[in-house]
Amino acid sequence: MTVDGQDFRVRAYRAPSGAWGYDFDWLSGPHEYGFGSSGAGMSRAEMEQAIRSFLAEIDPATGYLAE
């Protein structure tokens, strides 16, 4: 999935509890980095928003989460 010029691999899975989980791997980032989300199933728009929220927390100078 590409959001704002950044490429992510999104993997959905179902936990034994029945809850959905998602792994987002940042493929075009400067480091092997990503994040996860769990809960109800996510729409494409919700996935895009989650990615944008993640990217907003990245320090452009380091490519890591800002402190």
Radius of gyration of the chain, Cα coordinates, nearest whole angstrom: 12
DSSP assignment, residue 65?
Answer: B
What confidence tens digit (pLDDT) does each residue in 6-63 have?
999 999 999 888 888 999 999 999 999 999 998 778 999 999 999 999 999 999 999 9
Element (H, E) at 44: helix 44-56
pTM here is: 0.89
Instruction: Identify which of 61, 39, 63, 66 has the alpha carbon closest to the alpha carbon of residue 50.
Output: 39
Question: Amino acid identity, residue 2?
Answer: T
